[in-house]
Chain A
Amino acid sequence: MTLQMEAAQPKQQLQLLKVLGPAHIWALGVGIVLVGEFMGWNYAVGKGGAIGALIACWVIGLLYTCVAMIDSEITSTVAAAGGQYTQAKHMIGPLMAFNVGLYLVLAYTMLEAGDVQVAGQLIQIGAGNLGYNIPWQPFTVLALVLLALMNYRGVLATLTVNLVITAAAFTSIIILVIGTQPWNPGAVLLHKELLTGLPYGWIGVLASLHFGIWYYLGIEGTCQAAEEVRSPGRALPMGTMLGIITLLIAAALTWYVCCGLLPWEYLGWDNELAPLYDAAHVTGSPVLTVVLFVGTLFSAIASANGCINDAARAWFSMGRDRYLPIWFGAVHPGYRTPFRSIVFLMPVAAVFALFIPLAQVITFSILSGLLNYTFMPINMMKFRRMWPLGSIQRGFEHPFHPFPSIVLFVLCSITFFAVYLGYGRQLLAMMAFYITASCWFAFYRYRYVKRGDQFTMPWPRPSGY
């Protein structure tokens, strides 16, 4: 029956819809990341003290600025879904591309699981503050299913919603800052009394780099929308660079207000879930408390929403190139979304959200992200060598090449050491997982890849080939 219907239909090519603008790209990148200002970054305080967390904020901010600059140049040229996976395919080769694709899918799916878990727990905490005791699981599942539905039905509505709730979450940080009267030091903010130097010395600062990643983790996700923007050469660099600027401001404000209200011992405590919310609570203002509760909830939902979008695009792209079964490379004829990938990844995220502790889920996401960033400087070097400036039209050319790539590589290496200090076993276990997956791809899956079919960009041949 399917065959008969297929024969009756005119042959058509389904593409993802090109409907997004720079604001959606900003909403995707900042939406995924902003939850890191509301929770997680404060564990850097536990490692290195308040000043250590500020140094981590700057150093990791520099790392992500390099990421954003490199991504803006390459993605505005390689305007295809899959982001860094597609870049690796063009610049380095299939095995690297497969690994980068896996980093992306796991980083976003794990982050999504953590986000919906947090969203459910926030509703439980909110109900608890009103004197009611409810389980968090139904609300975690509800958030996941509703966001999956939105993603299934179209990217424009998905990222428009993200734009609204991300802007609201960012505004809540601004409201908190204004509410603490930063123009009147000592009235509410007590930096003079609370800043106590480096409690664990410089090794503590080094260890804090691991959690400094939370300030910015996910801004590279803007690349996944490359195939769905109306003007990749303009929208992607603008959305990504505005996104990293927003996050640098948000990270600095978050550190400033939290470290001026809460002692570092409390901020860095393992059970401290939501520092901005607690900072609002400490001010004694019910309005600020409610605003920051809503901001925290919105940030978790926006992050999960963007992660569903990005994980599905990376999985879809790998399927389309037959790095995974091509079945996953399908586009919904009505909604023009990678619907099979969205549906397939939904139960995976649900299992991790419901049964795996938050710290484990997020650590896996961070490590996968870090592996991805380590690949990017190599990718950038090859991109400039294979297609030098002038040989191919770029939407954006990042300045000072190769310094951002070198800085990024050095900072990633240092951060790997910082991760090893606290999570050495997980880091080694994850490396073993990726090596095993690479063997599966090289010795089994690669035979199904049609090598010529994966390169459809109308580019000139690379220099030296």
Chain B
Amino acid sequence: MLDAIVWAAWIVSAAVFAWILWDFVKTNLKYGEDTLISSREGVDDLFGDSSAAGGNKP
């Protein structure tokens, strides 16, 4: 019984990790790199959308 619980923990861990890897690879193949890394810092409710405002570029 205890052996089964220990094995179940390993099997569930492996299955979840496999799912993460599968989704990870699928996402990387499906979307272009420009889209995936298009995030920009600081959309702030105090100032509005910084990307729209153009930002401050010293």
Contacts from A to B (Cβ < 8 Å): 1-3, 5-6, 9, 11-16, 18, 76-82, 86, 127, 132-135, 138-139, 141-142, 145-146, 148-149, 152, 227, 230-233, 317, 320-321, 326-327, 329-334, 339-340, 343, 346, 393-395, 452-461, 465
Using A2-B32, A330-B36, A393-B46 as known contacts, say yes or no to A152 and B56 having CB atoms under 8 A apart: no
Complex Cα distance, B36 from A6, in Å, reads 11
Q: B49 → chain A, closest Cβ, in Å?
A: 8
CA distance A334 to B43 in the complex (A): 19
Residues of B within 8 A of A (CB-CB), count? 43
For the residues of B in contact with A, the DSSP-based class is helix
- Considering the chains assembled together, what is the distance between the CA atoms of A339 and B31 in angstroms? 13
Q: How many whole Å from A328's CB to the nearest CB in chain B?
A: 9
Contact present for B35 and A339 (CB under 8 Å):
no
Contact of B10 among A141, A331, A454 (CB under 8 A): A141
Question: Chain B residues near A457 (CB, 8 Å)?
Answer: 41-42, 44, 47, 50, 55-56
Q: A145-B20, A317-B41 given. 5 additional CB < 8 A pairs?
A: A14-B35, A14-B36, A139-B9, A232-B44, A453-B57
Q: Which of B35, B41, B48, B56 has the most chain A CB atoms inside 10 A of its CB?
A: B41
The closest CB in chain B to the CB of A462 belongs to: B58
Are the CB atoms of B48 and A458 closer together than 8 Å? yes
Contact in complex: A458, B54 (CB < 8 Å) = yes
> Which of the residues A127, A141, A456, A465 comes within 8 Å of B40, measured between beta carbons?
A456
- Asked if B6 contacts A138 (CB within 8 A), the reply is yes
Residues of A within 8 A of B9 (CB): 138-139, 141-142
**Which of A12, A327, A458 meets B38, CB within 8 Å?**
A12
B31 x A138 contact (CB < 8 A): no
Q: A138-B13, A395-B46, A459-B56 are in contact. Are A86 and B32 (CB under 8 A)?
A: no
Residues in A whose Cβ lies below 8 Å from that of B34: 6, 11
Measured between beta carbons, the chain B residues less than 8 angstroms from A14 are 35-36, 38-39
Contact B44 A149 (CB under 8 A): no
Distance A43 CA – B29 CA, assembled complex (angstroms)? 50
Report the Cα distance A465→B50, complex, angstroms: 21
Q: Are B27 and A332 in contact (CB under 8 A)?
A: yes
> By the criterion CB–CB under 8 Å, are A331 and B40 in contact?
no
Contacting pair B43 A233 (CB below 8 A) = no
| A80 adjacent to B42 (CB under 8 Å) | yes
Q: How far is the CB of B6 from chain A (nearest CB, A)?
A: 5
Give me the 8 closest cross-chain CB pairs, A-B, nearest first: A6-B32, A138-B9, A456-B55, A458-B53, A330-B36, A79-B44, A80-B41, A80-B42
Residue A343 contacts which of B16, B24, B30, B55 (CB distance < 8 angstroms)?
A: B24
B20 → chain A closest CB, angstroms: 6
* Interfacial chain B residues near A334, Cβ < 8 Å: 27
Q: Roughly how many angstroms separate A224 CA and B51 CA in the complex, as a whole number?
A: 20
Question: What are 9 A-B residue pairs whose CB atoms fall within 8 Å in the complex?
Answer: A6-B31, A9-B32, A77-B46, A80-B41, A317-B41, A339-B24, A346-B20, A457-B44, A457-B50
State whether A455 and B46 are in contact (beta carbons under 8 Å apart), knowing that A145-B13, A329-B39, A333-B35 are contacts in the complex.
no
In the complex, the answer to whether A146 meets B16 with C-beta atoms within 8 Å is: yes
In this complex, which of A11, A141, A393, A452 has the most chain B Cβ atoms within 10 angstroms of its Cβ?
A141
